[in-house]
A and B are shown apart, each in its own frame.
Chain A
Amino acid sequence: MIDYEFIKARSLEEALDFLGNYEDVKAIAGGTDLIVDIRKENVRAKGFKYLLDISGLKELEFIKKERDHVVLGALSTHTSLIESPIIDQHFPLLASAAKTIGSPQIRNRGTIGGNINNASPAADLLPPLIALKAQVKLCSARGERTMSLEEFLAGPYKTNRQSDELMTEVHIPLVSEDYLGNFQKIGRRKAMNIARLNLAILLGINNGTIFDPRVVPGAATAYPMRFRKVEETVSGKDIKDIDPVEIGELASEEMISFTGVRWSTPYKRVALASLVKRALESIFREAKVDE
């Protein structure tokens, strides 16, 4: 039986103090995953004595543009990402992923910080955020540190957050207009859909030549990560010389090189290849229109 004391944080400072002074604290924001886990007595939600409610910390709910990056407060909801003109202008890849999450009710409560820290292998914001080279800022009463999201993720439902730390911000470096992205997702239906597979691809394209490619499938490996073999293969090539089908198959091979052959492999091998193909075709179409 999960049992806990409920603590409401009135300020960020109070939250960090509490995290620093007590052990076995679990932070709750939107609660869209956590409350389900608590009620189902899921092992992932066990082992905490205090539930620290940070949902009222308005200071962590913002999206603002700075000189060369955009800063998102960790409590920015999925709805706020979708409705933000800054995200729409600079990171449509992120907005298109956020739109596929759950339903309006979930998107109104669920937060970017929650999506990252829950670290589900199927989290929809992780592939686009990794592709965008997002950095996460962690604060504690001891100080603060920033690291790349890729480094922050440590495994399925695991992160490198220390127990006294709270994620306060996500930083995304601005990319030039040469970058085009695409998000793909498949599940069992269109709405209220947990990804069987998802995928973010972001490519720099200059006069038809690909540079700085970033290819990040989700729910394909233990946790979302860049597929560097695929990236190396397309880097420096002209989009006219790339066969999206071939690259899709290469991505599936790279997935299997990480996971081995699993029960889901016969499905995911074909499905991932298809998602990669669709994403590349979509980006290439857009690149041609831009020319």
Chain B
Amino acid sequence: MSKIEVNITVNGAKHRLEVGPKERLIDTLRERLHLTGTKEGCGVGECGACTVILDGEAVHSCLVLTAQVDGSEILTVEGLEEDGQLHPLQQAFIKHHAIQCGFCTPGMLMSAKVLLDKNPNPTREEIKTAIEGNLCRCTGYEQIIEAIESVAEYKSSKQD
């Protein structure tokens, strides 16, 4: 099978890759770029564990072929921290005990990041909608929502 040349930017770093026609974005991220923070849960777009930010939008990296995203910018959980400092969302997830097993966490963080990028002061309902595609089987939704809410408030109080 012929290979497809793809240029993508992942967490600010440019990569030139030759991928197969069936290679999914999650395979590229985990197997080639060794960014294993992004998890594969169901592989069919039901659980949201594989959520990454593709050109500013939350997507399932298990439902995107890498060959389709030539020229795109991708942000994964590894790209959230800056200068060795955890992103405010990551800090909030720790502070609010919004993690148990941690498998859903990278996906939750990416869904929350997109929400706050677009809407710095979301309502509780908007937070719920933003993470409706991210399953947590330790069922810590309440803490996760609180963690996201706290960052929203933190941002707004800083702006005021």
Contact = CB atoms under 8 A, between A and B. Distances in A.
Interface of A: 3-6, 8, 28, 30-32, 35-36, 38-40, 51, 53, 55-56, 79, 102-106, 108-109, 190-192
Contacts of A38: 22
A36 B43 CA distance: 8
Interface of B: 1-2, 4, 21-22, 24, 43-46, 48, 51, 57-60, 62-65, 67-68, 70, 111, 114, 129-130, 132-135
B21 A104 contact: no
Given A108-B58, A109-B63, A36 B45 contact: yes
A104 B65 contact: no
Contact of A28 (B51, B68, B70, B129): B68
B133 A192 contact: yes
A191 B125 CA distance: 13
Nearest to B52: A105
B57 A108 contact: yes
B59 A6 contact: no
A53 B68 contact: yes
A103 B68 contact: no
Contacts of B133: 102-106, 191-192
A105 B114 CA distance: 11
A32 B63 contact: yes
A74 to B, nearest CB: 16
Contact of B63 (A4, A35, A104, A192): A35
A133 B151 CA distance: 45
Contacts of A55: 68
Contacts of B2: 5-6
Of A3, A51, A53, A104, the most chain B CB neighbours within 10 A belong to: A104
Contacts of A28: 65, 68
Nearest to A190: B132
Given A5-B1, A191-B133, 20 more contacts: A4-B21, A5-B2, A6-B2, A6-B4, A8-B4, A30-B63, A31-B68, A38-B22, A39-B43, A39-B44, A40-B44, A53-B67, A102-B45, A105-B51, A105-B63, A106-B63, A108-B57, A108-B58, A190-B132, A192-B46
A105 B45 contact: yes
Nearest to A99: B129
A41 to B, nearest CB: 12
A181 B24 CA distance: 40
A4 B24 CA distance: 14
A56 B4 CA distance: 15
Of B44, B45, B58, B70, the most chain A CB neighbours within 10 A belong to: B45
B59 A109 contact: yes
Nearest to A191: B132
A106 B4 contact: no
B128 to A, nearest CB: 9
Contacts of B68: 8, 28, 31, 53, 55-56
Given A8-B4, A103-B48, A192-B133, A109 B64 contact: yes
A108 B61 CA distance: 12
Given A35-B24, A39-B43, A192-B133, A105 B65 contact: no
B44 A36 contact: yes
Given A4-B21, A6-B21, A103-B132, A108 B59 contact: yes
B46 A109 contact: no
Of A53, A55, A103, the most chain B CB neighbours within 10 A belong to: A103
Contact of A104 (B4, B24, B130, B135): B130
A106 B111 contact: no
